[in-house]
Amino acid sequence: MVNWLKRKFDTASHNPIKGAKDILKYIGPGLLVTVGFIDPGNWASNLAAGSGYGYSLLWMVTLSTIMLILLQHNVAHLGIVTGDCLSEAASKHLKPWLSKTVLSTAVLASVSTALAEILGGAIALNMLFKIPVRIGAILVLALILWMLFSSSYKRIEKWIIGFVSIIGISFLYELSLVNVNWGEAVKGWLTPNFPAGSMPIIMAVLGAVVMPHNLFLHSEIIQSREWNKQDQEIIKKQLKYEFADTLFSMLVGWAINSAMIILAAATFFSKDVQVTELNQAQSMLEPLAGKAAAVVFGVALLFSGISSTTTAGMAGGSIVAGMFKEPYDIKDSHTKLGVASILTAATALIFLIADPFKGLVYSQMLLSIQLPITIFLQIYLTSSAKVMGIYKNSLRHNIALWVIGLTVTALNIMLLISYL
């Protein structure tokens, strides 16, 4: 069997068509991760960035995506090489008190993530069907629990790929309706800028793109593409194809996040309209870009909320199962506990939020505060020869990861200073 797989990969490397088909087989896990940073929390942060500061904060999407590619690629390696997700690896290789502390903060981050996702879906239901937000939150919760508890991973992956496609097409349509200053957009992508009062929004954009739960999720679901961890050639091929999946998927996310800011800059900033809630964004789109644009906006938000809540639940289940040194398995009691408790807790918190839009933005800021903990956990594990063997991080990779971790920490300090 091993020899057959080795021949299969060797043949693909000399046959471009065969190689392309093999790469396509690996596309999927990265797109599930992408859902996490085109979620309703991103919508809130990106619309606030675009309506308040025009194109000037697009650089943060570029920087965040570069960080994300390196981080997600690195954590996927952990899953491929060890067969453990980030949570399992932490439980196995850290002292119990330390692993429980670190993973508990990850659980809180997952609740914060799920809150934003469920709330976004509920807001979309309110936009489209006038369903009260709290009732909409319960409907989204019920749908996601049904999807996760009754479906296989492969089916969920197909749904998510379809949802991401709908969201991407929706924003292409939206952009076709407005006048975009592409010169300013290119400048915004490439030139760091810190306008007065923008630090909370910058941090929210960071927290909305580079998300802790996605690091746990990617290390788990990448194992759906594993074949044989004993053959070194097969592992090398897996690592190569994983990078193709990650790079493609992260660029899709970069494009959609950029489109959100550009749409807000072209429609709201140009009219000096500051967006303070998603419902306002939809209502303002109608006179500026037409009724169809407003409807498409709501539909895309709904699919964003449903798909990102699904992956948030999977990530939560993976983290809790990992605390017991177990993989994600929806039939297992620990995974069920993680999925149900995190999604239910997030829904309960929605009933305590007076301003849904601010709830979305601040949930992303909380994620950015927890993020350095997860990043440094990841660096520690993937740098260890005991954990990764010959696939441990090189000096070059470690330098890049440490720069990312320290940059995120520095941005958090700047955020705290901005509030003092």
Average pLDDT of every residue of the chain: 83
> What would the mean pLDDT of 191-206 be, rounded to a whole number?
82
Task: Report pLDDT for 409.
Answer: 79
Residue 414 lies in a domain: yes
Q: How far apart are the first and last CA of the chain?
A: 62
Three-class DSSP labels, the chain: CHHHHHHHHHHHHHCHHHHHHHHHHHCCHHHHHHHHCCCHHHHHHHHHHHHHHCCCCHHHHHHHHHHHHHHHHHHHHHHHHHCCCHHHHHHHHCCHHHHHHHHHHHHHHHHHHHHHHHHHHHHHHHHHHCCCHHHHHHHHHHHHHHHHHHCCHHHHHHHHHHHHHHHHHHHHHHHHCCCCCHHHHHHHHHCCCCCCCCHHHHHHHHHHHCCHHHHHHHHHHHHHHCCCCCCHHHHHHHHHHHHHHHHHHHHHHHHHHHHHHHHHHHHCHHHCCCCCCHHHHHHHHHHHHCHHHHHHHHHHHHHHHHHHHHHHHHHHHHHHHHHCCCCCCCCCHHHHHHHHHHHHHHHHHHCCCCCHHHHHHHHHHHHHHHHHHHHHHHHHHHCCHHHHHHHCCCHHHHHHHHHHHHHHHHHHHHHHHHHC
**Per mean pLDDT, which of 173-187, 271-285, 405-419 is the most reliable?**
173-187
Q: How many domains does the chain have?
A: 1
Task: Report pLDDT for 403.
Answer: 92
Task: Report pLDDT for 38.
Answer: 81
Kindly report the CATH number assigned to the domain that includes residue 145: 1.20.1740.10
> Which residues does 97 contact at the CB level (< 8 Å), separation at least 6?
none
Task: Report pLDDT for 207.
Answer: 61
Alpha-carbon span 130 to 87, nearest angstrom? 40
Residue 14 lies in a domain: no
> What would the mean pLDDT of 335-363 be, rounded to a whole number?
84
Residue 411 lies in a domain: yes
Residue 243 lies in a domain: yes
Alpha-carbon span 146 to 115, nearest angstrom? 18
Alpha-carbon span 119 to 305, nearest angstrom? 8
**How distant, in Å, are the alpha carbons of 65, 72, 131, 402 from that of 114?**
21, 20, 20, 28
Confidence of residue 187 (pLDDT cuts 50, 70, 90): very high
* pLDDT higher at 317 or 291: 317
Closest CA to 42 of 73, 64, 69, 74: 64
* pLDDT higher at 112 or 318: 318
| Alpha-carbon dihedral angle through residues 260, 265, 271, 276, given to the nearest 10 degrees | 50
Q: Are 201 and 48 in contact (CB under 8 A)?
A: yes
* pLDDT higher at 361 or 308: 308
Domain that holds residue 242: 28-419
For residue 167, which amino acid is it?
I
* pLDDT higher at 297 or 420: 297
Task: Report pLDDT for 59.
Answer: 94
| pLDDT of 285 strictly over 80 | no
What tens digit of pLDDT does each residue of 225-234 get? 655 555 666 6
Task: Report pLDDT for 25.
Answer: 62
Q: Are 124 and 166 in contact (CB under 8 A)?
A: no
* pLDDT higher at 372 or 337: 337
> What would the mean pLDDT of 267-291 be, rounded to a whole number?
70
* pLDDT higher at 282 or 333: 333
Distance of CA 268 to the CA centre of its chain: 26
Tell me the torsion sign for CA atoms 84, 85, 88, 91: positive
Task: Report pLDDT for 62.
Answer: 92
| pLDDT of 20 strictly over 60 | no
Task: Report pLDDT for 411.
Answer: 73
**Per mean pLDDT, which of 11-20, 22-31, 169-178, 258-267 is the most reliable?**
258-267
> What would the mean pLDDT of 284-301 be, rounded to a whole number?
75
* pLDDT higher at 238 or 186: 186
Q: Are 136 and 367 in contact (CB under 8 A)?
A: no
For residue 371, which amino acid is it?
L
Task: Report pLDDT for 229.
Answer: 57
> What would the mean pLDDT of 398-415 be, rounded to a whole number?
83
Q: Are 90 and 374 in contact (CB under 8 A)?
A: no
What tens digit of pLDDT does each residue of 44-89 get? 778 889 989 999 999 999 988 998 899 999 999 999 888 899 999 9
Percent of the chain beyond pLDDT 70? 82
Residue 21 lies in a domain: no
| pLDDT of 275 strictly over 90 | no
What tens digit of pLDDT does each residue of 141-186 get? 999 999 999 888 788 888 888 888 888 888 888 888 888 999 999 9
Task: Report pLDDT for 40.
Answer: 76
> What would the mean pLDDT of 391-414 be, rounded to a whole number?
87
Tokens of 263: 């749409």
